Amino acid sequence: MQTTTGMMAAAQPSKYRRQADAGLSRMEIMEGAALCFEERGFAATSLDHVAARIRSTKGRIYHHYGSKAELFLDVFRAGMMMNFAAIEPILAADMPAIDRLKALVKAHVLSVIRTKPFQNVVWEGVDMLRQGAMRDREHDELTDLARLRDDYAVHFQEVLDRAREAGDIRYRTVKIALNTLFMCMNGPIIWFTPRDGQGEDEIEAIADECVLYAMRLLNYAGDLP
Residue 134's CATH number: 1.10.357.10
For the CA atoms of 6, 11, 15, 17, the dihedral, rounded to the nearest 10 degrees, stands at: 10
Domain membership of residue 224 (yes or no) is no
Domain membership of residue 97 (yes or no) is yes
> What are the E-state strand segments in 20-168?
none
Residue ranges making up the domain that contains 213 = 4-217
Helix (H) or strand (E) holding 124: helix 116-131
As a whole number of Å, the CA-based R_g of the chain is 18
Domain membership of residue 222 (yes or no) is no
Domain membership of residue 225 (yes or no) is no
CA 3 to chain centre: 15
Record the pTM.
0.85
pLDDT in tens, the chain (225 residues): 444 444 443 334 333 333 343 444 889 999 999 999 999 999 999 999 999 999 888 888 998 999 999 999 999 999 999 999 999 999 999 999 999 999 999 999 999 999 999 999 999 999 888 887 778 788 888 888 889 999 999 999 999 999 999 999 999 999 999 999 999 999 999 999 988 888 999 999 999 999 999 999 999 988 776
SS in 3 state form for 54-73? CCCCHHHHHHHCCCHHHHHH
